[in-house]
Amino acid sequence: MSDIKVTAYCMKCRTKRTMKDPKAIIHPNGKRALKGICAKCGTNVFRMGSVEGIEPSKKALAKAAEVAEERAAEKAKVAKKAAKPKKAAPVVEDDDDDDDEDEAPAVKKPAKKGAKKSAKTVEVEDDDDDDD
C-alpha cells in the first residue's frame, strides 16, 4: 500500500474521491492507468495516466512487453503481405495476322452455381436403304 494520495472520479458518488490502494496497470495498447477503490463507498475507480511513485508490477510489465512483441510481429506480417508483388494479368498473344485488334479474345464464362445444365440432343434419322 502506498502513501500517495491519488484522486479519481467515482461513478457511484459522482465526484472525485481519494483512491484506496491504487495499483498501476498497463493496457494492451501500452497506455498506463491506475486502478483502486473509492475511499467512501468502496466502488472500483479508475484513472488514466500514471503517477510518480506508483509503478506497475513486474508481471504487468512482462505482459505488456509480450503484447507489444505480438503486435510488432503482426505488423511485420501485414507489411510483408502488402509488399508482395501482385500477379500480372496474363498476356494474350495474337497469332493471327488479322486486322481485328479491336476484338477481345473469346472467354468462356463459368456456369452459375445451381444452374441446370441444358442437354442438347440431336436426333439423327437413320436412312436404311435395305429395301432393295
**Model pLDDT for residues 106-122, shown as the tens digit of each residue:** 666 666 666 555 555 55
Report yes or no: 36 and 6 within 8 Å, Cβ to Cβ.
yes
Please state the domain extents for the chain: 7-82
pLDDT of the residue at 30: 82
Q: Which residue has the higher pLDDT, 35 or 4?
A: 35
pLDDT of the residue at 48: 92
How crowded is residue 116: how many other Cβ atoms within 10 Å of its Cβ? Answer: 7
| pLDDT at residue 87 is higher than 80 | no
pLDDT of the residue at 103: 61
| pLDDT at residue 125 is higher than 90 | no
The H or E element containing residue 36 is strand 32-38
Cell of 110: 463459368
pLDDT of the residue at 57: 84
Percentage of residues in the chain having pLDDT higher than 90: 25
Task: Report residue 47's pLDDT band, with 50, 70 and 90 as the boundaries.
Answer: very high
